[in-house]
Amino acid sequence: MSNETSHQSKAGHPSVFSVENKIVVITGGLGQLGSTYAKAFLENGARVVTMDVGSLEEGHPSELHPFVGKKNFLHKVVDITKKATLQNALDEIVTEWGGIPEVLVNNAALDSPPNAPDEEVGPFETYPEESFENVMDVNVSGTFKCCQVFGGAMAKAGKGAIINISSIYGILSPCQDIYEFRRKDGGTFYKPVAYSVSKSAIMNFTRYLATYWAKQGVRVNTLTLAGIFNNQPEEFLDGYCARIPIGRMADASEYVGPVLFLASEASLYMTGSNMVVDGGWSAW
């Protein structure tokens, strides 16, 4: 058998991109992106655990409903800011499937959307401390605790891949001009500071863990994303898309390829990296 043939999967695709049979944990797994990632991993043969504060029976995306009860899918109601619930989830996964997760996608995050209530989107000087703390608690502390529990287990097992999700607003300041439509009738709107600070923090957290766990076989990378179309106000879309060279927001499915790549052996020599997938936003 030639080398080329030996490196091909049964489907004819390079096996280096395979995630088959990997145990994958996705936080915020019932949201728009989380459920898209989960479905993609499931369709590519992985065993997937979605974690979220809600259950699948509470009106969450129907695209995951067909997988409920299947042997390769679990959903755990978990608050990622509570370390004990994360440890319980890990113990249950090991009991259910007899193995340690090999992939962790830290996708859960809080943000203030363009139609957020006024008290969330006022001037920086009056931005509520509680709002700042809530965002940091989920986006930074939650990611930290997930890495302690699941990443720590990976390090003991000697293998794993962690994908920390960041944003273009973690590498660049938000362009406040695109929210001008919210101010045209005398209102006040500023994209809040907390999301940017939290997503910037993720970058160096990734670098820290990448070097810390390098010799334990755990790779840690950041995936930095631009906005995703989700029926936002037309005025917002006009302003936002004008800033993107490609000219539109992303569809959630367009982030699947990068996530699968970072989870697979195709990215085996990547750790501590930041993969930017933003339609060209940061290239201006």
- Looking up residue 257, the CATH number of its domain turns out to be 3.40.50.720
pLDDT value of position 12: 47
**DSSP-derived secondary structure for 25-85:** EEETTTSHHHHHHHHHHHHTT-EEEEEESS-TTSS--GGGGGGTT-TTEEEEE--TT-HHH
- Specify if 167 maps to a domain: yes
- Specify if 210 maps to a domain: yes
Q: Considering only CA atoms, which of 101, 97, 74 is closest in space to residue 87?
A: 101
Measure the CA–CA gap between 125 and 113, rounded to whole angstroms: 19
- Specify if 182 maps to a domain: no
- Specify if 265 maps to a domain: yes
pLDDT value of position 187: 76
Range of the domain at 268: 3-172+194-232+252-276
pLDDT value of position 82: 98
pLDDT value of position 179: 87
State which residues of the chain have pLDDT below 70: 1-14, 58-62, 114
Measure the CA–CA gap between 269 and 266, rounded to whole angstroms: 8
Q: Considering only CA atoms, which of 23, 82, 68, 31 is closest in space to residue 52?
A: 31
- Specify if 185 maps to a domain: no
pTM score over 0.85: yes
- Specify if 281 maps to a domain: no
- Specify if 243 maps to a domain: no
- Specify if 44 maps to a domain: yes
Overall domain count for the chain: 1
The percent of residues above 90 in pLDDT, for the chain, comes to 82
